[in-house]
Amino acid sequence: MDVNASEAEVKTKKKVAKKITKKKVAKKSTKKVAKKTTKKVAKKVTKKKTSKKTSKKADYALVVVESPSKAKTIKKYLGRGYQVVASNGHIKDLPKSKLGVDVKGDFAIDIVPIAGKKDKIERIQELAKGATEIFLAPDPDREGEAIAFHLAEEIGKRKKIHRVVFNAVTKNAVQKAIENPTELNKEMYQSQQTRRILDRLVGYKISPILWDKVQRGISAGRVQSVALRIIVEREDEVNAFVPEQWFSIHGEMEKDNTKFEIKYYGEEKSKKTDLHEEAFSHQICSDVNGKPFDVIDVKKRERKQNPTPPFTTSKLQQEASNKLGFSAKKTMMLAQRLYEGMQLRDHGLQGLITYMRTDSVRTEPEALQEVRDYINGRYGAEYLPTEHLEYKKKGKGKVQDAHEAIRPTSLIYTPDEVRGDLEPDEQKLYELIWNKFVSSQMSQAVIDQTAVMFECNGHFFKSNGSIIKFAGFRTVYLEAAAEKRSRRGGEEEEDSNVNSGLLPMIDEGESMIPVVMPASVEHWTSPPPRYNEASLVKELEEQGIGRPSTYASIISNIQDRGYVEKTENRFLPTELGIVVCRMLVESFPDIMDVSFTAKVEELLDMIEEGQIKYKKVLKDFWKGFEKTLEKAKEEMKNLKKQQIPTGVHCLKCEDGEYHIKWGKNGQFFACSNYPDCTSTEDFKKHLDGSFEILPKEYAKDPCPECSKKMVVKKGRYGRFLACEDYPLCKGTLPYTLDVHCPECKVGKYAEKKSRFGKIFYGCSSYPDCENAVWSRPHKLDCPGCGYAVMCEKTTKKHGKQLQCPKCRHTVDWADTPFASEDDE
């Protein structure tokens, strides 16, 4: 075999193999290039499609409001092309952990995002990136303006930002506001910031002094402390009041089968005589007994009664309290819902009333025409004045006239039309607002009044009668105070069983003998009444303290702080409230001065109007306040070392007297013989100033320290168990229910209070077990999933039920074994 030939064949084969390999590589590379090209083309196509989609998505305007329900209503009105999102109130504020105001650095403030609002801010920022325009639509007041400014800060200046305001959440009002946007109101924002800084300085500077001198956890506030002073001073008036005896004389006449009352008037026809002597009143009765009464004067006159304007915020709170028994807080909560939008079965989502924070009595011309047409159609021409009625706000202080009075947004949504769509309390408040507004543009009421003067043996008696000749606006609405007078029969103070309507025909010169001879009635003068919700709101308004939007929170704060209690629907200051008030008045006379607080409100109005610079107001305030603070730290009494005697004898020792002491959990009775006697008791103070020792509630579990009984106590974080031998033994346990935790099966549910004051039930084995529920748990297996616990749930629609915290299965309370325990 030729070696050279074989080598040549091998070389040839290698060449052929290389060519084949190159072809394969080339094919592969071609395929790769093709794939890459295809991918590139596909990416370009995808990008184009995505950009088209993005451009479609980005083609919207963003509207930011305060509440989710308002956002839902407005979204319906604006439709496509708009994204509507809620900020859920304020998104930024002064930090909670520090003062946040640099008093030495020209009052620079540290405004930070509120805890828990980070996700909300990021969501708004994300939506703002893709928006063509941004409309900031928080509520049209100072707080709303602050929210709008903070939203603008977080969104940034990349987009065109507008401020929109509307007085009612209606389609027409919202669309009109969007079409006619305004700019952010810097002066209004500065006014809000000034108020916030003043409140922070007072609260964060005075409260630590109170912690040191009185009790940990209590606080002072620029406005709430003045409201407390008003209540305390009224209590001082009640306690200082000395009742005086007085008398009235009443008899009864009859003519033409009509009985009517006569009352002693005086010893002269033209001058009323007050009766303070019992002997003299009895002498008068003796002088006229069995004798005829001569009619010496009959006066008849027609009196016209005018309607009153539609509601302002404070008037709404007062009337809702008097007529419906609603607290200011409840009234504002219900009004907020009616304003933001209610789901109506025939009309969809609709805002039913105009903005509910206002002190204006003005009504828009369009609404005036609508209500006049409604009155004419519903009641007739005689109930309609020739021209619409205009009202002016009475009282001192600037009227916030940016928002009109509270009224229905449309008279299409009558109370009957929305009945069934609203909860009962919402319906009641809506009807109150509706009736007040309609009556405000109706005719005067015409009342015929008759006054008859009688003379008998030198003594003068009088009888008054009245009848409504034309009801006018009274057909629809009568204010609570007038309604009360009307029920009593005129302006008289005392109720009468005798008909006090129209008197029979009586002519001058007639002589009549009473069917019931005049008799003397003893009376005692009454102290000024303690404030209720309505009268306190009225007083705050008249004194210029706070604003309509703050009355509800002021009243809530002084109750939450333990300074005031509501007893028999009247505000009664607690011992803690009285003592704190006295100490604050003594150490901070300016802060606690009613006129000073009202002056601050005037200054805030001036800042909003651009008449004064906000930093000047802050500097002037701080100059005097700083000196007062230093003085108070040194001179304010230390209440922790003081004790208030009560006159109540100790239950344990013979000669001890209970004194009121302040501990970390509030006030309690402690024996004056401590440490020889360690008796302590919880107590309650009554309206008459007397004290009641509250019976002790004992727990099943013994004290972990000394094995004595554990007593249920109330602390700032809810109920807890303390050893009955306190202060010798300081053993404590959480207040637990006899319901074991179904998760760890070791601990029991313990009653606790959140930092917002809401009660919840958490496992006593915390932090080993973090199981917790918001409503009271009961030992009952869920019929749905078998979970060992079900929790109480109460709704207006279904009443009281038990609900499983796992599967949400519900059982009617009446069908549980606990219902029979209630009956027992």
User: Which residues form the catalytic set?
Assistant: 355
Token code pair at residue 265: 């008037």
Q: Please give the DSSP secondary-structure letter assigned to residue 769.
A: -
3-class SS string, 385-448? CCCCCCCCCCCCCCCCCCCCCECECCCCCCHHHHCCCCCHHHHHHHHHHHHHHHHCCCCCEEEE
- In a 3-state reduction of DSSP, which class is residue 232? helix
- DSSP states along 355-379: -S--------HHHHHHHHHHHHHHT
User: What three-state secondary structure class fits 530?
Assistant: coil
- Among the listed residues 280, 293, 283, 256, the one whose alpha carbon sits nearest the alpha carbon of residue 461: 293
Give the alpha-carbon dihedral of 634, 635, 641, 645, to 10 degrees. Answer: -170
Rounded-to-integer distance, Cα 362 and Cα 227, Å: 28
- Which amino acid, residue 507? D
3-state helix, strand, coil in the chain (%, to 5): 40, 25, 35
* Residue 372 token pair: 């006049």
690: exposed, middle or buried (C-beta count within 10 Å: 0-12, 13-18, 19+)?
A: exposed
**Count of other CB atoms within 10 angstroms of residue 132:** 12
Can the peptide bond before residue 528 be classed as cis, meaning omega within 30 degrees of 0?
A: no
Phi-psi region of 503 (alpha: psi -120 to 50; beta: other; left: phi over 0): beta
Q: Assess contact for 265 and 455: CB atoms under 8 A.
A: no
Q: How far is CA 59 from the centre of its chain?
A: 40
Instruction: Return the DSSP state at 471.
Output: -
Instruction: Say if residues 70 and 169 touch (Cβ distance below 8 Å).
Output: yes
Rg (CA), the chain: 37
Distance in angstroms (rounded) separating the CA atoms of residues 351 and 137: 15
Give dist(CA 718, CA 701) in Å, integer.
Answer: 18
> Which of 822, 625, 713 minimizes the C-alpha distance to 813?
822
d(CA 81, CA 58): 9
Structure tokens that stand for 94 in this block = 């002064």
Beta strands in 24-68 (DSSP E): 61-65
HSE of 576, CA atoms in CB hemisphere, 13 A: 30
Burial class (CB in 10 A: 0-12, 13-18, 19+), 484: exposed
Q: If you write DSSP's letter for every residue of 533-584 in order, what string do you get?
A: HHHHHHHHHHHT-S-GGGHHHHHHHHHHTTSEEEETTEEEE-HHHHHHHHHH
Show the tokens assigned to 287: 């002088």
Give the integer Cα–Cα distance in Å for 312 and 407: 9
